[in-house]
Amino acid sequence: MLLPSFEYAAPTTVGKAVSAQKASGNFLAGGTDLFVALKDQIAAPDLLIDLGGISRLNGIKRDSKTRELRVGALTTLTQLQESPLVQEHLPALSQIVPLVSTQQLRNMGTLGGNLCLDTRCCYFNQPSFLKMRWEPCLKIGGKICHVVKKSDICHAVYSGDMAAPLIALDAKLRLAGDRRKNETDLLSFFTGSGIKPNILKFNEILTEIRIPAIPENAGFSYRKLRLRDTVDFPLLGVAVFVQLDGKNGKCRQVRLVLGAVGPAPLGVKEASRLMHGRHITPKLIDEVAGAARRMAHPVDNTASSPRYRRQMIPLLIRQAFDEALAMIK
């Protein structure tokens, strides 16, 4: 498939990038997802604004006061993995990056692009000549959903790997554009809509991801279910952050987030309600896992059945808690 024609702009500042944008344009980061969408005629922008020349969007710093890591949105996944700052201060984050796609794609693909990915569905992510077999669905302006019959909302899945672990780590985002509030927590960045998965307006850019330091007595884990051990998008992702009280070993704070079970990452608030102030035992983990499984409603639009993906939720949650708790000991 050939790329369609489009105009190309390469601004050197965020301000110029924002003002160059038109409603029918797209921002371009690493292009690993966007170029596939262009070739499949899923996206048809008449203008691509390449963010790669904006030096402010690139690189990783550590705030010496707050100890948080500030990752520019155009930082590639490989840079994130190999950064000495990340390896020293957040090694668990560096270790999960290889779970995303392949080495070549991580060399080009950026952290910002990962968080801004469009949602996916087996009826939508198809070349146009295959999609012609089906009546246009809600995501492309039609009136029906092929996955959930009679549904008037789109259930396409947000399948980026990095969002769930970063939500578990309590990351915040900085945005540029014409909104008044330019900072948001990562969970609120997602709208829950399969059609428009994040809050960015057409002329807004994600500029920075701020990740707090992992405190004392805390552990973190991300587990991913996929068909093959490389390339594939997640069929399910489970991220856990847990901090214990240093004196009595009881749970001080916990965040459990499921990825790839719907149009947005799913924060499992029950985890905090059930675990806070208690010793985390296998029985308690099973209770939380049961609650998470009841909350998640994957539908039949990925490479695996919803039933299997739901069945795997408790297993991945147990593995993630075991790994996170082992980090503390």
Ligand X SMILES: Cc1cc2nc3c(=O)[nH]c(=O)nc-3n(C[C@H](O)[C@H](O)[C@H](O)COP(=O)(O)OP(=O)(O)OC[C@H]3O[C@@H](n4cnc5c(N)ncnc54)[C@H](O)[C@@H]3O)c2cc1C
Of residues 154-173, which lie at the interface with ligand SF4 (CB under 6 A)? 154-156
Say which residues have a Cβ less than 8 Å from residue 30's Cβ, sequence separation at least 6. Answer: 76, 105, 108, 109, 110, 113
Q: Give the three-class secondary structure for 189.
A: helix
28 binds ligand SF4 (CB under 6 A): no
Angle between helices 282-295 and 306-328 (to 10 degrees): 140
123 binds ligand SF4 (CB under 6 A): yes
Which neighbouring-strand residues pair with 106? Answer: none
36 binds ligand X (CB under 6 A): yes
CA nearest to 31, candidates 108, 99, 103: 108
Of residues 194-213, which lie at the interface with ligand SF4 (CB under 6 A)? 194
Query: Least distance to ligand SF4 from the beta carbon of 151, Å?
Result: 7
Cα dihedral sign for 106, 107, 109, 115?
positive
Contact 28, 10 (CB under 8 A): no
Q: Give the x-and-dash track for 171-200 against ligand X (CB under 6 A).
A: -----------------------------x
Contact 256, 317 (CB under 8 A): yes
68 binds ligand X (CB under 6 A): no
Q: Which does 36 bind (CB under 5 to 8 A by kind): ligand SF4, ligand X, none?
A: ligand X
77 binds ligand X (CB under 6 A): yes
Q: Give the x-and-dash track for 201-240 against ligand X (CB under 6 A).
A: ----xx------------------------xxx-------
Q: Which is nearer to ligand SF4, 139 or 309 (CB)?
A: 139
Which amino acid is residue 85, in one-letter code? Answer: L
73 binds ligand X (CB under 6 A): yes
Rg of the chain over CA atoms, in angstroms?
Answer: 20
Piece in contact with ligand SF4 (CB under 6 A), picked from 98-106, 147-155, 165-173, 234-242: 147-155
Q: Which of 75, 101, 221, 301 binds ligand X (CB under 6 A)?
A: 101
Q: Which does 28 bind (CB under 5 to 8 A by kind): ligand X, ligand SF4, none?
A: ligand X
30 binds ligand X (CB under 6 A): yes
Rounded distance between C-alpha atoms, residue 176 and residue 18, angstroms: 8
Query: Least distance to ligand X from the beta carbon of 210, Å?
Result: 14
262 binds ligand SF4 (CB under 6 A): no
Rounded distance between C-alpha atoms, residue 274 and residue 287, angstroms: 8
125 binds ligand X (CB under 6 A): no
Q: Are strands 47-50 and 7-9 parallel, antiparallel or unpaired?
A: parallel
Query: Least distance to ligand SF4 from the beta carbon of 91, Å?
Result: 37
Contact 285, 324 (CB under 8 A): no
Which amino acid is residue 165, in one-letter code? Answer: P
Q: Which is nearer to ligand SF4, 86 or 145 (CB)?
A: 145
Instruction: Output the DSSP codes for 261-281.
Output: SSSS-EE-HHHHHHHTTS---
222 binds ligand SF4 (CB under 6 A): no
Q: Which of 301, 309, 313, 317 binds ligand SF4 (CB under 6 A)?
A: 301
Rounded distance between C-alpha atoms, residue 111 and residue 273, angstroms: 31
Contact 265, 187 (CB under 8 A): yes
Rounded distance between C-alpha atoms, residue 50 and residue 138, angstroms: 29
Q: Can you give the binding site for ligand X, defined by CB under 6 A?
A: 26-34, 36, 51, 73, 77, 100-101, 105, 108-110, 112-114, 116-118, 160-161, 200, 205-206, 231-233
Q: Can you give the binding site for ligand SF4, defined by CB under 6 A?
A: 121, 123-124, 137-139, 145-147, 154-156, 194, 301
